Amino acid sequence: MTVNLKELYGYMLQEMGPQGWWPADSKDEIIIGAFLTQNTNWNNVELSLAQLKKATAFEPEQLLALPRAELEGLIRPSGFFKNKARGLQEFFQWYESFAFEPEAVNAVFPEDQVLRKELLRLHGVGEETADVLRLYVFDQVTFVSDAYARRLFTQLTGVIFPKYKDLQERLTLNSAFNLAEAQEFHGLIDEFGKVYLRGSGKFSESFLAGIRLAEGELLK
């Protein structure tokens, strides 16, 4: 069966149900989680989040007030804690100039690619983190081309996407996707990936086996 992007999303949603991503109670918690999840698994992130919540309640002002060494200790379970601590505090220093308000950021950077370039200037913000922040914090419809997404679309197209930009530059969510659907699509892909894209041969056991992405859904 051949499907377009919106049909793929609908099929996954029907089979899996809503995933409710990103798992967090506030946008500040999403920001913190986006930094901590880099190069580690979510179980480690949850340990760090629990310690940070106790110490700061995820309040940006309290996180900025922490001595860097103390912040490093709190997020140590997530690994790369020195780099992530610096990234978190430098991001919130930048965000402070907008009073920690996403709407204020969007007023200055109304175009999605302009905001993306601004985010990529910040320490510790790579392409994936920038797109996660755009999608879940700054409410811009975008596609997160993370490892699970690249593995899934390799299965659906036969095209290999070794690097983040290899898929990100070829796949865009068109006007058929609203913000909630774009967020849900990312969650569906990652939850699907945890089950079917971690080992070889598992995809063939999934409900997406035999499905192909229609020509024209990827940019040349």
CA 56 to chain centre: 23
39 and 114 in a single domain? The answer is: yes
Question: Distance (Å, rounded) from C-alpha 34 to C-alpha 78?
Answer: 11
195 and 152 in a single domain? The answer is: yes
Domain count, the chain: 2
Residue 175 confidence (pLDDT): 84
Q: Does some domain include residue 96?
A: yes
53 and 128 in a single domain? The answer is: yes
184 and 209 in a single domain? The answer is: yes
Residue 7 confidence (pLDDT): 97
Angle at 27 between CA 121 and CA 132, to 5 degrees: 45
Which phi-psi region, left, alpha or beta, contains residue 219 (left: φ > 0; alpha: ψ -120 to 50)? beta
Q: Does some domain include residue 174?
A: yes
58 and 113 in a single domain? The answer is: yes
What global pTM score does this model have?
A: 0.95
Q: What is the pLDDT of residues 75-132, one digit of tens each?
A: 999 999 999 999 999 999 999 999 999 999 999 998 888 999 999 999 999 999 999 9
- End-of-domain residue from the set 113, 136, 159: 136
Where in the sequence is the domain holding 129, given as residue range(s)?
Answer: 27-136
Q: Does some domain include residue 219?
A: no
Is the Cα dihedral 10, 215, 113, 64 positive or negative?
positive
Whether the CB-CB separation of 1 and 208 falls below 8 Å is answered with no
Tokens representing 167?
Answer: 């898929």
111 and 149 in a single domain? The answer is: no
Residue 65 confidence (pLDDT): 98
Residue 220 confidence (pLDDT): 74
Flag residues of the chain having pLDDT under 50. none
- End-of-domain residue from the set 118, 136, 154: 136
* Closest CA relative to residue 80, chosen from 36, 43, 46: 36
Residue 129 confidence (pLDDT): 97
For residue 18, give the amino acid letter: P
CATH number of the domain to which 38 belongs: 1.10.340.30
Residue with tokens 């949850």: 46
170 and 129 in a single domain? The answer is: no
Residue 22, preceding peptide bond in cis (omega within 30° of 0): yes
Tokens representing 188?
Answer: 């569906």
